[in-house]
Amino acid sequence: MAFLTDTDASYLREKLAELLVRPVGLRLFTEPVGGLYVPGRRTCETCADAEALMKEVAALSDQIHLEIVDVSTRRDEAEQWGVVHLPTIAVGPGDEDSGVRFQGMPDGYEFTSFVETLASAGTENGHGLEPETLEALAALPAGVEIKTFVTPT
């Protein structure tokens, strides 16, 4: 089942061709759903759907590079990237870890934010920030963690 309609996929393909001037890396941390139910063990309800959607998105542009990380076999890598919840999608310019993460399935209203993040990561400087913003961030006395929540209300 495709998540994107042909019309939406065509529109996104054209927009991404205009906007992405450098490679964007998507790293999806996921866990395959097994056929065996184990009481007390949490399963990833949206991992399979997130993987299917990321494959559709990656197919829209040669500038988007998708890596799927199965945390059941690569747990150390997930810990290194700070992954706590599944699915988690890391977005960054090229192969860099920019610290940008999407937790859960980026559908509905979240999909717009996800596409905007792809566009920002694919800009010439890899983040889309203005020089004044970069100066203000550089002036901060310590590292800052910013969390953005998307909700329809």
Would you say residue 153 lies in a domain?
Answer: no
pLDDT > 70 in the chain, percent: 93
Does residue 131 lie in a domain region?
yes
pLDDT in tens, 24-81: 999 999 998 766 666 766 788 899 999 999 999 999 999 999 999 999 899 999 999 9
Distances (CA, A) of 14 to 31, 34, 60, 61: 32, 37, 9, 9
Q: What are the angstrom distances between the C-alpha of 101 and each of 25, 37, 57, 72, 104?
A: 12, 29, 16, 19, 10
pLDDT of 153 higher than 60 = no
Which of 110, 105, 106 is CA-nearest to residue 151?
110
Is there a domain that residue 87 lies in? yes
Residue 19 lies inside a defined structural domain of this protein: yes
pLDDT of residue 94: 83
143 within a domain of the structure (yes/no): no
User: Is 74 among the domain residues?
Assistant: yes
Task: Tell me the backbone φ, ψ of residue 92, rounded to 5 degrees.
Answer: -165, 165
Residue-range definition of the domain harbouring residue 124: 6-138
Give the CATH number of the domain where residue 81 resides.
3.40.30.10
Q: What is the structure's pLDDT at 144?
A: 81
In contact, 9 and 55? CB cutoff 8 Å: no
Distance CA 62, CA 23 (A): 8
Domain assignment of residue 148, yes or no: no
Q: 3-class secondary structure for the chain?
A: CCCCCHHHHHHHHHHHHHHCCCCEEEEEEECCCCCCCCCCCCCCCCHHHHHHHHHHHHCCCCCEEEEEEECCCCHHHHHHCCCCCCCEEEEEECCCCCCEEEECCCCCHHHHHHHHHHHHHCCCCCCCCCHHHHHHHHCCCCCCCCCCCCCCC
Q: How confident is the model at residue 1 (pLDDT cuts 50, 70, 90)?
A: confident
In a domain, 65, yes or no: yes
Provide the number of structural domains found in the chain. 1
